[in-house]
Structure 1
Amino acid sequence: MTKSALKSAFYKNQAPISEQNRSQIVSRMSLLRTILLIIISIHFKLAHADQVVLLDTTREATLEWTRYPYGPQAQTPGWVEESFTDFVKGINWRSYVVCDVAYHNVNNWLWSPFIDRGSANRLYIEIQFTIRDCSLFPGNALSCKETFSLLFYEFDAATREPPPWQTDSYRLIARIAAGEGRFNQNSDVDINTEVKSIAVNKKGVYFAFRDQGACISVLAVKVYYITCPAVTENFAHFNETPTGREITIIEKQNGTCVDNAEPYETPTYLCKGDGKWTILTGGCRCKAGYEPNYTNKTCTECPLGTFKSPEVTKCTPCPPNSNASKTGSPFCKCASGFYRHPNDGRHMPCYSPPAAPTNLTLLFVDQTSAIISWSAPAKNESFSSETNSKIYHSDIVYKIKCNICSPNVVYNPSTDTFNETKITLTNLEPVTTYTVQIHAINSVSHINEFKRHSNESSLVAVSDIVFSNTSLLNIPLDLNEVKTGQAEIVFTTESVLLSTVFNLRILAITNKDADLEWDKPVQSDFPLEFYEVRWFPKVELDAINKSALNTKETKAHIVGLLENTEYGFQVRCKTNNGFGSYSNMIYAQTLQSVGSVYDDSVQIRFIAGAIVTGVLFLVIFIIATVYFMRSKHQDDLDKKSTNHLPLPLDYASNEVNSMDTTPIVKKLHLNVTTPLFGNSRSYVDPHTYEDPNQAIREFAREIDANYITIEAIIGVENLAMYVVVD
């Protein structure tokens, strides 16, 4: 229908409208216009989301919706199906038109078909319509309105019977008015668009349009629901997800990994009410053997000769000494005779077990011991990289194998495996030929043993076993089970020599030094090279902490001994055929240090001083006693010689004046006619003489010394002595 025809139809049905009603309609329409602007803005925002269309009248050739009233008995024309055409816009739609403004109590209903909601939680209905301004019908309109009602009715199953049309059975969605504007005979047709939505629970829904006296044309109706579109993120695919029943509800969607990918964390995405995804968590990654294509978000299979492991980001050519025989390989298998180092990733080269040690040399051998040295195996030529070369060499350990060695043989180093390049064997048998093998082992040597219990496909798990240089040293190895590089050496121990040093003796010993001397051994068949002297504290005879020196002379000066310690000493000779047996052991104890002797000397001096003091007191006592005894003896002689010697008057009588206080000595000096000791006498102090006999000789010069005997010292203070004169 053209614009002119539509206007003619409206003019035919126009009715007069009062001025009061017109002002009410204008004010009401202004409010509705504001609301419609808000709704339209929401509509344009939602238009960016994906829509699943359930009904679109613009694509229908005919509609034939249910109408009421309808038929000859209808009091009003009601809804009429017509075509709306606009050649400029390329429009040719089937539409419904109603304009019963010239009737009272208008109640026209139009029902959509039953619409199955599918997986929708919320349905949207978009209506495009036009509406006449009531001012076009002055005086002719009996019930002119500028709105219509949109209602819905949910139902669990479609039915061929017409839907219920009673008002109480339907729920009102909205009362719709023109938002873009109403047109009259002076304006073009204004097409209004209105979008409404409802939450749905049942299987489907009927929509209803109710006219109560408006002049409108429902040009197009579209029913749809909004979904968050199907997307692929982080190599996880998220299906199209309907939005929630309410705009504010967020729907959580779990993703599924794309082909040849596996999840590293459960991928989830949140679908908002506007149909947009938000907050992506988790995701997937391409499996081993597949390369990620970030543009297409797919995983591409690796071609032949390449691999893809977690250590690399894309399909990579196989490292040296490995190959991939099929597409999509997670790693490259090592070539025959090569193995991947367990500490290396699958992107690293494959290694072969180490080659044999080189420069195997017998450094020393005698009757019971031998020292063997060697060099590390030559660098594996498969690896020119300096880094790989270092890994290869630092991982090597060694194991010794001696088939005829007795259990008494002692190895140093003593561990089952070791990383030194020299070993000492002791407790060997004299004049015995030994074959010793040195085996070089690294971590890949053990993979041989693991492969006996696993097939090639499980080599990945084998590579995950971590070995270190330390762990290899602690693993008892069966050389029959591992791949090693070996070298061997054959040697014969020397015969036992009968040359023995005799008469070992100690010439001198101090607190730290000792001088030894010995006799040459019995003449042997081999010329002497030197003598070996060894010594050790007696308490450590069974220990290995021994000291030794070599000399070509038959004497030795040993220094660095511990003071006041008993040592054992032995000597043996060395010929060009080996060492002889040790001499008999002799023992000697070192002296104390100077500090200790000084302490003892002080103590001895203290004791000696005390003894000398006592002796001195004893001598003084003897002198005093001699002096006293001599005086007494002289008195006796004086008494005996009274008949021969003239005596003073004082001594002529036996009576002595008791009142006479004159000293006896004085009287004796004055009255003696013939002095006993000469005319002049000097005082002799015994304290000034070290020898009491000398004091006696000075004191008694008139008496022959042969007749004087000191019997005892009777006083110390006055040095009184008891002296006997024969």
Structure 2
Amino acid sequence: MDYFLLLCSLLLPVVSAVEETLMDTKWATTELAWTAHPETGWEEVSGYDDAMNPIRTYQVCNVREVNQNNWLRSDFIPRKDVLRVYVEMKFTVRDCNSIPNIPGSCKETFNLFYYESDSDSATATSPFWMENPYVKVDTIAPDESFSMLESGRVNTKVRSFGPLSKAGFYLAFQDLGACMSLISVRVFYKKCSTTIANFAVFPETATGAEATSLVIAPGTCVPNALEVSVPLKLYCNGDGEWMVPVGACTCSSGFEPAMKDTQCQACSPGTFKSKQGDGFCSPCPANSRASSGASSVCSCRNGFYRSDSDSPESSCTTVPSSPRSVISSVNETSLVLEWSDPRDLGGREDIFYNVICKKCLPERGMCSRCDDNVDISPRHLGLTQRRVAVRNLQAHTQYSFEIQAVNGVSNKSPYSPQFSAVNITTNQAAPSAVPTVHLMAATASTMSLSWLPPEKPNGIILDYEIKYHEKDQGEAIAHTMTAQRSNARIEGLKTGTPYVVQVRARTVAGYGRYSSPADFSTNLQTDPPKSWQEQLPLIVGSATATLVFIIAVVVIAIVCLRKQRNGSESEYTEKLQQYKSPIVTPGMKVYIDPFTYEDPNEAVREFAKEIDVSCVKIEEVIGAGEFGEVCRGRLKLPGRREIIVAIKTLKVGYTDRQRRDFLSEASIMGQFDHPNIIRLEGVVTKSRPVMIVTEFMENGALDSFLRLNDGQFTVIQLVGMLRGIAAGMKYLSDMNYVHRDLAARNILVNSNLVCKVSDFGLSRFLEDDATDPTYTSSLHAPMCCASTFPLDCVFLTLSLPLVCV
């Protein structure tokens, strides 16, 4: 039995089965007038049931005559597109031992047959009264028989048959020598009635042709619900019972579950639901409202806003008030501003500040933005701290500074931010730094210098101070001199000595900053040529480099010559390496049971590669497994070509144990690397659904593949397939791994007829409650076969157990 069918048979049904009657003789008010053969056999009799209701029955009791063969055929019964029907028979049978002086041909059983037809064409002689063309359903035996001294004990038996393919059918009852009465016959079929599960409607669905059949019923989300997984379906089993649904729907935004999760009703005014899901509507956050129903977001009241990053569940907030307690501290042309937080932050924590500088002209009565050279540190916009330093202001100038308080919704407000302003006037300031100093001329003991005045003199330049010192001595012994103009001549310097020179300006406010240090030398002559002793290291180095180059050229030439001579041999050796089979030393690698890990998820991370879900594309569902569906899809990993893969998915609503058992198979497969073992590509555990991705085997399971192609393979091909299975099992044996469920259904075949061992999930599944010795025996003990294929149980010659193919 397929694992999925086994799982479904253990699950409780969602809805009880519904029976639809096609025929019931219990309610007949006139003669049934069924066809009997011979006429002396079955006889229609009127009677009463236990409630004294009139009923029509058939009885037969020719037990004193030998070789009885009495047939009774019903009227034509249309099947109404039903694939499988059930027959409920109520009857009584007399005990043969209670009838004296009868031959040994007395029976206590009868046979049930059916005959399919596209029309009501049966006659008294057609079809022939024999098992073929009639199809036998079963031999019916009573649970209790009666004697003459006892009242008749009614037996009830139910039998089913199918698949049915024609327009209708006849029932036939064969008596071979019983004394019995057929009280009533009811023909019905089972169906799964319309139901709602997981916010999806599943239509009425008739059962399948076999008792173990699963009929898929596609689902449709109820109004105002959306699918969360595709495809959405429900299985109807052979007993007319719905199984656990695959996929689900959830209520849309603005709607919440109702009527025991069968409807999605709109959120009432004043409430909202922002996302699709199973959650319920919530009251509107502070400062927001929802005047109509089915709201997915509550709109903010006037004067309140949400930022672009705020979620619909966030309260609506407003802009902050102006900063408080602004303090300014002026130092000549520099300024420090400090302030306190606003009294009202607007209900938000993301408060920050802007500082706007304006230069004012009192004579004109207006202020304008400051020039770009005004430095506000650390910055003038988006401040998180409540302090800035302002530099490079003009002396004796009036300024106005606005400190704005803004937050995440200030850009939503149509009004300008609230601010506090402070007006200041700068003091007298020293001049700015002198630009770069230039050397105009130099002799052995003098230097002539020139420079430009400061860009911001901030008053009248009184004089300049020139500071100079030998470069090797530092500023500790520097000399100074003054100049009235922007040039000077320094005398008394050492010949051929480098000097560092700096210049600064002075006003009534004091000295400004020095210029950047400039290096000048009193010696303008070129250096004398070097002696041959100084040039000797350079000569020796050049000769050494030339010698090394010549040696390298010779070595490269020798290597190339050897390669040319041995080219064919190297190519042959490389080919040998390509075709050389890897040698696996027994005991070098041993299988590790993932359930020995304290956290089984750790085994998954160690042995299985995580795949990003964006790399996997599901194309088609090809089957169902124990934990969910099996699909065919494509895998495109970065840097690799796209390949076709098989994808096992974990169904929605799984438990932690099911997830652990599902991923344990990946932890097992991830440890194997052999051409006859199914290859694991990776797992998807960080998104939904959870998946196991393996290589795709085009020809599917070996058992069905052999059935479909019976007699089409040569002995050599079949033996090759067997050897592949044996090689895979020997590899598992060397790994100290016991498969526990080796069978043809668990062998997969690819397009090149390569067989690979698969389905490693049973290793742990049967360990706790294993009663079948086939699954618990040692790997090297013969295993029993249950297959019925053209190739049955074959012993392979590789020290392996018996393999079922």
TM-score range relative to shorter protein: 0.5 to 0.7
SS of residue paired to 2:409: helix
Q: 2:345 aligns with which of 380, 391, 396?
A: 380
Q: Which amino acid aligns with 2:220?
A: T
For structure 2, the 5+ residue unaligned runs are 1-8, 359-366, 429-456, 485-497, 521-805
The within-5 A match list for 1:635-674 is none
Say whether residues 1:484 and 2:402 are aligned partners.
no
Aligned partners of 1:223, 1:445: CA distance in 2, in Å?
Answer: 77
Partner AA of 2:223 in structure 1: D
Amino acid at match of 1:308: K
Q: Secondary structure at the match of 1:513?
A: helix
SS in 1 for 2:174: strand
Superposed, which structure 2 residues align to 1:26-425 within 5 Å? 49-55=16-22, 57=24, 59-62=26-29, 64-69=31-36, 75-76=39-40, 78-87=42-51, 93-101=55-63, 107-118=69-80, 120-139=82-101, 144-157=106-119, 164-167=126-129, 170-199=133-162, 200-266=164-230, 267-293=232-258, 295-310=260-275, 313-364=279-330, 366=332, 370-380=335-345, 383=347, 389-390=348-349, 392-393=350-351, 396=352, 398=354, 400=356, 402=358, 404-405=368-369, 408-413=372-377, 417-420=381-384, 421-424=386-389
Alignment match, 1:570:
504
Q: What TM-score, normalized to structure 2?
A: 0.48
Q: Structure 1 residue 428: deviation in Å?
A: 5.1
State how 1:585-600 maps to structure 2 within 5 Å: none
Mapped partners of 1:484, 1:297: distance in 2? 51
SS, match of residue 350 in structure 1: coil
Deviation at 1:363, TM superposition (A): 3.1
8 A contact 1:236–1:257 mirrored in 2: yes
Tell me the percent identity.
Answer: 29
Letter in 1 for 2:512: Y
**1:198 CA drift (Å):** 1.1
Larger Rg: 1
- From the superposition, tell whether residues 151 and 117 of structure 1 become closer, same or farther in structure 2 (CA, over 3 Å): same
Shift of 1:67: 2.5
**Paired residues of 2:399 and 2:423 also in contact (CA < 8 A):** yes
Q: Match of 2:247, SS?
A: strand
Could you say if the C-alpha distance between residues 141 and 92 of structure 1 is closer, same or farther in structure 2, counting changes exceeding 3 Å?
A: farther
Q: Distance in 2 between matches of 1:507 and 1:446?
A: 56
Structure-2 change in CA distance of 1:312 and 1:436 (3 Å): farther
Distance 1:429 1:512 in 2: 32
Q: Is the Cα–Cα contact under 8 Å of residues 499 and 581 in structure 1 kept in the other structure?
A: no
For residue 582 of structure 1, what is the aligned residue in structure 2?
512
CA drift of 1:346 comes to: 1.9
Whether the aligned pair in 2 keeps the contact of 1:505 and 1:586 (CA below 8 Å) is no
Measure, in 2, the Cα distance between the counterparts of 1:183 and 1:327. Answer: 71
Residue equivalent to 1:667: none
Q: List aligned pairs for 1:510-659, cutoff 5 A.
A: 511=474, 513=476, 566=500, 568=502, 570=504, 579=509, 582=512
User: Matched residues in 2 for 1:485 and 1:77: separation?
Assistant: 109
CA positional deviation for 1:341:
3.5
Structure 1 residues 99 and 324: CA distance shift in structure 2, 3 A: same
Q: Deviations over 1:203-255 (max 9, x none)?
A: 33222223344322111222222334544333333344333211233233333
**CA 1:134/1:344 → structure 2, altered by over 3 Å: closer, same or farther?**
same
Letter in 2 for 1:265: S
Relative to structure 1, the CA distance from residue 166 to residue 502 in structure 2 (aligned partners, 3 Å threshold; closer, same or farther) is same
Q: 1:102 to 1:279 in 2, by over 3 A?
A: same
Deviations 1:86-137 (A, max 9, x none): 24xx775432223344567655443334333335332111111111233444
Higher relative contact order (CA 8 A, sep 6+): 1
Using the TM superposition, give the Cα deviation of residue 78 of structure 1 relative to its aligned residue in structure 2, in angstroms: 3.1
Q: Deviations over 1:672-724 (max 9, x none)?
A: xxxxxxxxxxxxxxxxxxxxxxxxxxxxxxxxxxxxxxxxxxxxxxxxxxxxx
SS at match of 1:344: coil
Q: Which amino acid aligns with 1:217?
A: S
Amino acid aligned to 1:153: Y
Structure 1 residue identity aligned to 2:354: Y
One-letter amino acid of the counterpart of residue 59, structure 2: V
Structure 1 distance, partners of 2:519, 2:252, is: 81
Report deviation, 1:323.
0.8
CA distance in 2, matches of 1:583, 1:295: 83
Per-residue deviation, 1:180: 1.0
- Kindly indicate whether the alpha-carbon contact (under 8 Å) linking 2:68 and 2:175 is maintained by their aligned counterparts in 1: yes
The CA RMSD over aligned residues, in Å, is 4.5
CA change 1:433–1:588 in 2 (3 A) is closer
Distance apart, 1:320 and its partner CA: 0.8
1:155–1:490 distance in 2 versus 1, CA, 3 Å: farther
Matched-pair contact (CA < 8 Å) for 2:468–2:502: no
Given the alignment of the two structures, is residue 498 of structure 1 paired with residue 432 of structure 2, yes or no?
Answer: no
CA drift at 1:325: 0.7
- When normalised by structure 1's length, the TM-score is 0.53
* Residue identity opposite 2:417 in structure 1: T
Letter in 1 for 2:310: D
Deviation at 1:321, TM superposition (A): 0.8
Distance 1:261 1:416, change over 3 A: farther
Q: Any idea what the Cα deviations from partners look like across 1:5-55, whole Å, max 9, x if unmatched?
A: xxxxxxxxxxxxxxxxxxxxxxxxxxxxxxxxxxxxx9xx99x95132223
Contact persistence 1:508–1:515 (CA under 8 A): yes
Q: Distance in 2 between matches of 1:423 and 1:312?
A: 51
Question: CA 1:503/1:198 → structure 2, altered by over 3 Å: closer, same or farther?
Answer: closer
Query: Equivalents in 2 of 1:188, 1:584: separation in Å?
Result: 132
Superposed CA offset, 1:174-226 (max 9, x none): 35343313211133322222221111223332222233443221112222223
Aligned to 1:558: none
Q: Distance in 1 between matches of 2:278 and 2:172?
A: 63
Contact 2:319 2:345 in 1 (8 A): no
- How far is the alpha carbon of 1:338 from its aligned partner? 1.6
| Amino acid corresponding to residue 325 of structure 1 in structure 2 | S
C-alpha contact 2:92 2:180 (8 A) present in aligned 1: yes
Instruction: After TM superposition, give the deviation of residue 319 of structure 1 in Å.
Output: 1.1
- Partners of 2:204 and 2:517 in 1: how far apart? 101
- Listed as ranges, the gaps of 5+ residues in structure 1 are 1-41, 384-388, 449-480, 522-563, 591-726
CA-to-partner distance for each residue in 1:326-374, whole Å, 9 max, x for gaps? 122222111122222443332221111333333344433756x655444
Q: Which residue is equivalent to 2:525?
A: none
Report the equivalent of 1:646: none
C-alpha spacing 1:174/1:503, structure 2 compared with 1 (3 Å): closer
**How far apart, CA to CA, are the structure 2 residues paired with 1:244 and 1:217?**
32
CA displacement, residues 524-557 of structure 1 (integer Å, 9 cap, x when unaligned)? xxxxxxxxxxxxxxxxxxxxxxxxxxxxxxxxxx
Q: CA deviation at 1:507?
A: 11
CA distance in 2, matches of 1:163, 1:236: 53
Q: CA–CA distance in 1 between the matches of 2:499 and 2:120?
A: 118
